[in-house]
Structures are given as structure tokens and as C-alpha cells.
Chains A and B, each alone.
Chain A
Amino acid sequence: MSTNVNRKPILFGKVVSQREISEDIYDLTLDISGYADLIQTIQPGQFASLYTDDSSMLLPRPISICDISKDEGLIRFVYRKVGGGTGLFSNLKPGDSLKMIAPLGNGYEVLDKINLKDKNCLAIGGGIGIPPMLLLSKVLSQAEANVTAVLGYRTDDLFLSEDFKPYAELLISTDDGKAGVKGTVIDAITASGVKADMIFACGPMPMLRGVKVYAEKESIEAYVSLEEHMACGIGACLGCICKTVEVDSHSHVKNARICKDGPVFNAKDIEI
């Protein structure tokens, strides 16, 4: 038992490129081609735990996977510099090495279970929840779904929005109304009249609550990706939990682990 397990590796990615694409938003691509089998398993909505090389910062930083290139062995993260750890990542230069474990958590697993052809799908991203919607839109598009990416920004600095264009129609909302619809992503959806069969969302909690309410009202199946402070990132420490409607099979107290049982949940299964 103990010796015949295929253990998961600790990855060392080599920085291919990094640039600041908006204020404090960084676009980092790493070569992980040495882990070819692992790259094939990555699903939209999964994340990576990135470790700093500063021994005073113990905890890994959970960062969503923005995109992958299975052929070239590349993984892409678009993240916001919010503190010391992400500040160190933002200094990484091509050729530098970055330690991580990935992929983690359950992504939008439903994609494997249904026929997406001609399904009308909304990929809703708000702020730093926008990046994981890119890989999702790509996968939905490859499955011949009709994808509308609904992206919510603070203002008209529409980082990453161009990247969605090969895969999705775009709807934009901004807090200040300088681009797209002034208001929330739900305002943008309502204004456009777009109809959806399925919703996928990642973003700040108020947005996710709005998405859950909208999906329930319109009777649309919705999958949302949650964020929480994490420690281990692999489901052992119970640092990141989300209240669930039913008693779950792991905690037995209606506490799903965001890092392991999520971060993507069916919106009807969780209390947010």
C-alpha cells in the first residue's frame, strides 16, 4: 500500500515571461513541460499553490490557473499583487524557477459530464476572478458551446479581455461606467437580454451571491468558484471552509473544504 502509490510531484516551473498588464495585475507564464502527464489533467477552475523563496513566508499562495498550453507545456497565471508573497512573484524574471503544487481542487468538473455542443454558457468573471474564465471559455468553445464571457471591471482598464475574443462573445460591466454597462455583471446580462443554459462564475463574494440569486430566479444551473484564506491547500488543515446546504461526506458538519472539495461548487449546494 505505502510504496505503490503514484505520488504527486512538487513542481518547479521555469519562468518564460512575465509582464504587468494592469496596475498590480501580473501575467506570468511558466514552462512545466517536464510534467507532461500532469498538464493533461488540468481542468478549468483548478488552482495552484505557489511557494515563495522567502523562508519567513510559510504559506503557499493559491492562484487560479488562467490558461495552459498542453502542446508547449506552459501554465499561465494572471494574479494581483496584494502583499509580500505576490510581490516576490511579481519580481520573477524569465529563467527564474518557481516552486508549486498543481493542479489542486475540483474545477468545473461538470464539463466532462455533459454534452456542451450548442449550449448557451455564461462565463462570468469579476476583477481578479476573470483569469480562470479564460481557460474555461477556451474549453467550452472547443466543445462547441456558445460562450458569452461576462467580465466585470472597476473601470475601463479591461485587462485580459482581448484574450477572450477567439472563444467568446464579450459583455463588459464597469463600476464607473467608463466601459460597457455601468453596474454589475448581472446588470450587463440583463441589459443584453442574453439567455443562458449554464452559468460559470468566479469573482468577489458579492458578485457570486448576485449570480446565485440570478441563477435561481432564472432556473439556470450555476457553478461558482470560491476563494478563502488557505494554509495547506490540499484539504488537510480545514482552514478554508464553506457552509454547505447538506451534510457533506467529508466533514459531516456542512463544511466543505474550498481547496479540496471546491473551489468550484454547484451554487445550489452552498450557502454564501
Chain B
Amino acid sequence: MNLSVDFLGVNMKNPITTASGTFGSGMEFNEYTDISKLGAVTTKGVAVEPWEGNCVPRVCETPSGMLNAIGLQNPGADVFIKRDLEFLKQFDTNIIVNICGHSEEEYLACIDKMNDTDADIFEINISCPNVKSGGIAFGTDPKMVEHITNIIKQRSKKPIIMKLSPNVTDIKVMAKAAEAGGADAISLINTITGMKIDIHKRSFALANKTGGLSGPAIRPVAVRMVYEASSAVSIPVLGMGGIRTAEDAIEMMMAGATMVAVGTANFNNPIVTSEIIDGIKRFMEEQGISDIKDIIGIV
């Protein structure tokens, strides 16, 4: 039975990674589950300089999901390289570094810092709904998606994944724009912009007013968008959005994802990634699937 997939020239022992921002750099979750078991760890977004993030409350629960507006708090590239990458490279897993920026210059400066590290792949966050500049501002205009993809691709020494926002009218247009800009892959979906109001306080549940909705509540939207995007482009897709079980991951692969990221479910169960990998093996045994690659985009 073969669980491994080739993703952008990197051999992944299985198709499971973590969704950026839900897993830190694996340090805390490794206290509960062996992060070496993962195909790859996708890190929390890192920028060239430290970012403070938003005020609290930054998170709240919603039915079968949650809203977050962390605001991409991160310690900056230098600390990240010394601490987080040094930690991660001890493990037998691949490293996908998620990169964020407020401007083209900041993205490129961060790429420059990460180019000669042990990162295997870069995931470029052009879809964070919780920061005022950069993030989603880049990810909802196809011309901008193509442009930023193009300049990052030219500068990057590693394969790049462009992480797309679901907060658009037609995801196919964005997927094609990333492909046209030279993206090696796309990942989707980032969170869906949402809002919760505390009716007793007559105020917003999050300090940022709006936040990104994640969790099983968004999974059908993610499956639809992964299907549409993967049908529109020839580059591989990293699918995510509400994955909680092995069955969810398999569904996402059948929709067209080569790899699948697990995000919010980590908060519900710190060993969920390991359980999903075991569950995929069981499903393959039951269904007589000898190679996981055979189910990618099978619908």
C-alpha cells in the first residue's frame, strides 16, 4: 500500500499536512503526537519583521467551526529561522513555510531570508482576511494574484504554493491567475470572512469585528472550490477547509487535492493528524486501494 505522493518534486510519505496557523511550528503539538508522522508540517505565517497581531478576543466558537482574527502575529523571519526551522529540521517530515507580507517588498524580503534555509516549499499567504494590507487585498484581484505570483516565483529558490481566498466570486479565475503567474501549486481554501455578535454585550465577539470562519462548517464550500480550482488548472492542489476525519481527507482528494491540510480539527483533538493518517490506511485496505494517488480527482 502506497500512501506517498510527489508534491512539487518533494516526496511526501503521506498526503497529510497541517493548515498554516493552526499548528504553530509543531513544537507544542509534538508534545502530544509525533510530527514525524506527517507528510509535511506547514508553519504559521512568517513575515520579514515581527508582527504584533490583533487585540483579544481573537477567537470564538461558532456552530461546527470557529472564527479567528489573530492577525498573523509572528516573531519575524530571523527568530523563525533560528528557532522554528532548527526545531523542525530534526524531524523526518517536510517543511512548508507559510510566508506573509504587507507589501510586495515585504514578501520578497521574506523569500530572500528563507531561500537558503531547510524549508522544502513556500506557501504564500495572499488570502488572510484579518490584516489591513497585504493578505486578502492581494488575493481577490486576479491581476494582482498573477503579478505577485510572478515576482515571488522569480525570486524564490523553492517551489511556491499560492494560498487562495474563498472570498471571491469565481475561484477558477484566481486559480488560473496563480497558474499564469508561475505558481507551482495552489492551496485552498483559506478562511471565509465571518462575524459573530455577543447579544448580551451588544458588541462584536472578536476585537477585530470580523474573523475567518474555519472548521467542518466550511468543508462543503472547500470541497466545491477544490473541485472547481483543480479542474481549471494543471498544477497540483493542496486542499483544506474543515478536514476532521480520514473520510474528509479522502473526499478532498477525490475532489482533486494531491495533498490535504488539517487545521481547526487540531484544536478539537491534538492527535487528530495521526488518527487521520491511520484512517486513510484503513480506508485503502477496505477499498483495495493500493496507491493513494489513484483517488486524486477521481470524481
Contacts and interface: CB of A to CB of B under 8 A. Distances in A.
A56 B64 contact: yes
A270 interface: no
A58 interface: yes
Interface in B66-85: 66, 68, 70, 73, 75-76, 79
A241 B64 contact: no
Contacts of A101: 32, 270
B142 interface: no
Given A2-B92, A229-B57, A10 B32 contact: yes
B73 A241 contact: yes
Contact of B66 (A51, A59, A254, A255): A59
Interface stretch (A111-119, A177-185, A192-200, A231-239): A231-239
A238 B72 CA distance: 9
A252 B50 contact: yes
B203 to A, nearest CB: 14
Interface stretch (B21-29, B113-121, B229-237): B21-29
A231 B36 contact: no
Q: How large is the interface on B (under 10, 10 to 19, 20 to 34, 35 or more residues)?
A: 35 or more
B32 A252 contact: no
A1 B87 CA distance: 10
A218 B270 CA distance: 43
Interface in A28-73: 51, 55-60
A228 interface: yes
Q: How large is the interface on A (under 10, 10 to 19, 20 to 34, 35 or more residues)?
A: 35 or more
B61 A59 contact: yes
B272 to A, nearest CB: 11
B22 A253 contact: no
Contacts, number: 128
Given A2-B91, A101-B32, A237 B24 contact: yes
A191 interface: no
Interface string A1-40: 1110101101000000000000000000000000000000
Given A228-B56, A253-B50, A235 B73 contact: no
A7 B34 CA distance: 8
- Classify the secondary structure of A's interface with B: loop
A76 interface: no
A84 B171 CA distance: 35
A253 B51 contact: yes
A260 interface: yes
B63 interface: yes
Given A1-B90, A1-B91, A101-B32, A252 B21 contact: no
Interface in B20-70: 21-24, 27-36, 44, 50-53, 56-61, 63-66, 68, 70
B23 A253 contact: no
B266 interface: yes
A58 B64 contact: yes
A10 B66 contact: no
A152 B88 CA distance: 46
B217 to A, nearest CB: 9
Interface string A136-162: 000000000000000000000000000
B215 interface: yes
B268 A59 contact: yes
A233 B267 CA distance: 8
A190 interface: no
B264 interface: yes
B28 A260 contact: yes
A97 B61 CA distance: 23
Interface string B89-132: 01110000000000000000000000000000000000000000
Contact of A253 (B59, B68, B73, B269): B73
Sorted from nearest, which 10 A-B pairs have the closest CB atoms? A2-B36, A236-B24, A239-B59, A252-B75, A236-B28, A58-B268, A253-B52, A234-B28, A231-B59, A56-B64
Interface of A: 1-3, 5, 7-8, 10, 51, 55-60, 85, 101, 228-242, 250-255, 260
17 contacts: A2-B35, A2-B90, A3-B36, A10-B271, A58-B64, A231-B66, A231-B68, A231-B264, A235-B28, A236-B266, A237-B59, A237-B70, A239-B58, A242-B56, A253-B50, A255-B73, A260-B28
